[in-house]
Chain A
């Protein structure tokens, strides 16, 4: 069998470069898969489809890190509406004001130097 020409992380990052939050969907399990993998952990099959999230989610858990140097910052787990959970942070509000249950919207954080882009979230009040 020929080697794979792409990797799960590689495809994910390619989408982020285009401003898209991508995830996998396993039709056999009828469930989202995140983080991206080469096989579905429910079925063991490699039948995984790439999909693009609408970018809306809800804060599932939240904390504030107090570094020894620099300002405190938020770290949160976000339940994205398409049915997967990811680590991220909520920006544009003070880190202690981030609340469990808060509706949030995806925003790509651009690549900086060697650091690839990554997904952050901002409050999306009114987004049901």
Chain B
């Protein structure tokens, strides 16, 4: 992300749409619009202020076109880059660039999905891959399970350690009134749950919910004139190493290593400067591998690093404080919810799950099958 300037733009508004199970016949664009309405209200702006639209959903091939029509914004600058769940972290960098170039002044990043209502197959059609589809991989689970098998083989990561990631997420979710899951979970529960793709059970795998939301970005000079405390974009990074798991260069090392390095460089920060982490936990192995690739522990040590509740509410490193894709909400492409939670943590709005004194947040989006990695580092006024 060469060329982006640390702190040139800020997130000024953030909101979820309805999440979990939404009303019958609600559309993905309805949810985007609902999220935009709430995010604009969050920062005291109106729809007529919006002149930049960044959006993605698997349920509308031309989502920017749909959103321009729905909101009657024919002159909006648009970008519907879609690289899976990390699309929205990529949109943050693209919006920052567009704001800096004067292409727009109020940028909205929006997402909507009715995956739970319409079913996974209907919401996200799989493309035929002649080199993978004949083997009937149940995607994405099979791909992440293959990576987990390799991590366990090379580094001795255990079944119990994977389960501990799900338990930590659940403990955070129990502190979040908006979370889908409401009951406690143990390591034994995770291991005994229905097997999906060895070594994963259904409890190692993100939820299938509906949901959407939006964030609002502006250049820093204008952001400071609004009511809420701006959350500054300090660093961005992106790396796309493959699309299919059979082409992943190394099953235990992701592009997060590169996207994280780019973001740290732009933010002039390192792992020890980060107060709260929001990592895309589509599967329990993700959290372990991302902590390694983002520098919080050495490669291969992730399983041991997270054990003993280190990333839970009582631990020393707050990770996925809303309960994550594993226990809070996961409508197919979860990346926007990572950003919403990070904004709320840095504003101090998180109630029982608030991380005391959080001034910096690292958001890490993941798309495809460990394919598209995008990191965003955010900070409060004190980091500027």
Contacts and interface: CB of A to CB of B under 8 A. Distances in A.
Contact of B135 (A66, A96, A118): A118
A124 interface: no
Given A60-B150, A85-B246, A100-B153, A65 B197 contact: yes
B146 A67 contact: no
Interface string A61-74: 11111110000110
Nearest to B200: A63
Contacts of B251: 60-61, 77
B220 to A, nearest CB: 40
A87 B197 contact: no
A63 B149 contact: yes
Contacts of A77: 146, 245-246, 251
Interface of A is mostly: strand
B142 interface: yes
Interface residues of A, number: 28
Interface string A102-128: 000000010000011010000000000
Interface stretch (B14-22, B34-42, B126-134): B126-134
B48 interface: no
B121 interface: no
B137 A35 contact: no
A65 B199 CA distance: 10
A86 interface: yes
B177 interface: no
A75 B149 CA distance: 11
A61 B135 contact: no
Given A60-B150, A87-B246, A75 B137 contact: yes
Contacts of A100: 149-150, 153
Nearest to A85: B246
Contact of A66 (B130, B131, B195, B245): B195
A61 B150 contact: yes
Given A9-B130, A87-B131, A75 B195 contact: no
A109 B148 CA distance: 27
B149 A62 contact: yes
Interface string A29-49: 000000100000000000000
B376 interface: no
Contacts of A109: 134
Nearest to A95: B198
A88 interface: yes
B350 to A, nearest CB: 36
Contacts of B135: 75, 87-89, 118
Nearest to B196: A66
Interface in B115-163: 130-132, 134-138, 141-142, 145-150, 153
Contacts of B148: 63
Nearest to A66: B195
A35 B246 CA distance: 9
Interface string B238-253: 0000001111000100
Nearest to A74: B135
Contacts of B147: 61
Contacts of A72: 195
A35 B247 contact: yes
Contacts of B196: 65-66
B376 to A, nearest CB: 28
A35 B130 CA distance: 10
Contact of A73 (B136, B146, B149, B194): B136
Nearest to A115: B134
A13 to B, nearest CB: 8
B198 A96 contact: yes
B141 to A, nearest CB: 8
B129 to A, nearest CB: 9
Contacts of A61: 146-147, 149-150, 153, 251
B91 to A, nearest CB: 27
Contacts of A85: 246
Most interface-central of A9, A62, A77 (chain B CB within 10 A): A77
Contacts of A115: 134
A115 to B, nearest CB: 7
Most interface-central of B131, B138, B150, B196 (chain A CB within 10 A): B131
Which 4 pairs, one residue from A and one from B, show the smallest C-beta to C-beta distance? A63-B145, A118-B134, A64-B198, A61-B146
Interface of A: 9, 13, 35, 60-67, 72-73, 75-77, 85-89, 96, 100-101, 109, 115-116, 118
7 contacts: A9-B130, A61-B150, A66-B197, A86-B131, A87-B131, A87-B132, A87-B137
Given A62-B149, A101-B153, 11 more contacts: A35-B246, A60-B251, A65-B136, A65-B137, A66-B196, A66-B198, A72-B195, A75-B137, A75-B142, A87-B132, A118-B134
